Amino acid sequence: MTFNYRAIETTDDGALAIVERELRDPEPGHVRIAVEAGGVCHSDVAGIMNLTGNRPAGTRIVPGHEVIGHIDAVGPGVTAWSHGQRVGVGYLGGHCGQCAMCRRGDFVYCADQPVLGDSHDGGYAEYVTARASGLVAVPETMPAVELAR
């Protein structure tokens, strides 16, 4: 049985449209997050308009890189996170742990780091998939809308 979720994605002319996408299981090292809130940021424009060139021209993307939600599914190899945990994920979507910069401990300069809402689908959706290395734990007591700003 196929399940779909709603997302807001870019169109070819830089506008936004509500679409349905197929809900898929997370890949190894990733988690799927049921989105509670996603922030709106001026840098979302870079992803919407593909100003960074992080993806092939004409490729549609779901914007949004300030995401708060609960882990809905855990991919193979993920041991530090579990179903139901409340998490956040930001602009840098998690380091690879294998490139030269990661081996030096400079994770922010990872050569293979997805950028949510730019090179990797972001949080303007009911669900988002992210690398487990890009997550932060978020207390249940803090309002999602405040955190996603």
How many other CB atoms are there within 10 angstroms of residue 144's CB atom?
Answer: 19
Structure confidence by residue, pLDDT tens digits, 12-44: 777 899 999 999 999 999 999 999 998 888 888
- CATH number, residue 47: 3.90.180.10
Structure confidence by residue, pLDDT tens digits, 92-123: 899 999 999 999 999 999 999 999 999 899 99
Q: How many domains does the chain have?
A: 1
Tokens 């919407």, residue? 48
Structure confidence by residue, pLDDT tens digits, 45-100: 888 888 888 888 888 999 998 999 999 999 999 999 999 999 999 888 999 999 99
Q: Which domain holds residue 57?
A: 4-147
Dihedral in degrees, nearest 10, Cα atoms 58, 121, 5, 71: 170
Instruction: Give the model's pLDDT for residue 1.
Output: 62
CA 103 to centroid of chain Cα atoms? 23
Residue 102 backbone dihedrals phi, psi, to 5 degrees: -65, -40
